[in-house]
Amino acid sequence: MSAGVAVITGLCEGVCDTACVDVCPMDCIHGPVSVEIIRATPIDERRSRFAGVQMFVNPDECINCGACFSACPVNAIYVDDEVPPEQYHFIELNARFFSRRR
3-class SS letters over 55-68: CEECCCCCCCCCHH
Q: How many residues does the chain have?
A: 102
Sign of CA dihedral 85, 80, 82, 70: negative
Quick one: DSSP state of residue 41? Answer: S
Give residue 56's pLDDT.
97
Residues 6 and 23: their CA atoms lie apart, in Å, by 13
- Classify domain 6-99 at the CATH topology level: Alpha-Beta Plaits (3.30.70)
Residues 63 and 19: their CA atoms lie apart, in Å, by 17
The residues spanned by each domain of the chain are 6-99
Give residue 1's pLDDT.
41
pLDDT per residue as tens, the chain (102 positions): 445 899 999 999 999 999 999 999 999 999 999 999 999 999 999 999 999 999 999 999 999 999 999 999 999 999 999 999 999 999 999 999 998 765
